[in-house]
Amino acid sequence: MPITIDEIIYRGYVSALIDGERARCSYIVSNLIEQNVPVYDLYVDLFQRSMYEIGELWETNKVSVATEHLATSIT
């Protein structure tokens, strides 16, 4: 049975994005793939959700445009 992307995994991914830690993001995604998380779930529950959050952080001046661009590039 595939695992789901819980809040702890999601928060770890967003934190890694904000910190510009490409390798940590890749590690998280690789582990999810190895655990048979459906691709749809990766795209919607991790990538889309995190991009919306990063966009909101940028819009409210909580992260810089550089951080937003880096997070987008990593994802």
What is the predicted pLDDT for the residue at 4?
81
Instruction: Provide the whole-model pTM.
Output: 0.93
Read off φ and ψ for residue 48, nearest 5 degrees. -65, -50
The string of pLDDT tens digits covering residues 45-56 is: 999 999 999 999
Sorted by where each begins, the domain ranges of the chain are: 7-74
Superfamily of domain 7-74, CATH level 4: Methionine synthase domain (1.10.1240.10)
Closest CA relative to residue 31, chosen from 20, 42, 18, 21: 42
pLDDT tens digit at each of 75 positions of the chain: 556 899 999 999 999 999 999 999 999 999 999 999 999 999 999 999 999 999 999 999 999 999 999 999 999
Q: How far apart (Å, rounded) are the C-alpha atoms in residues 39 and 21? A: 22
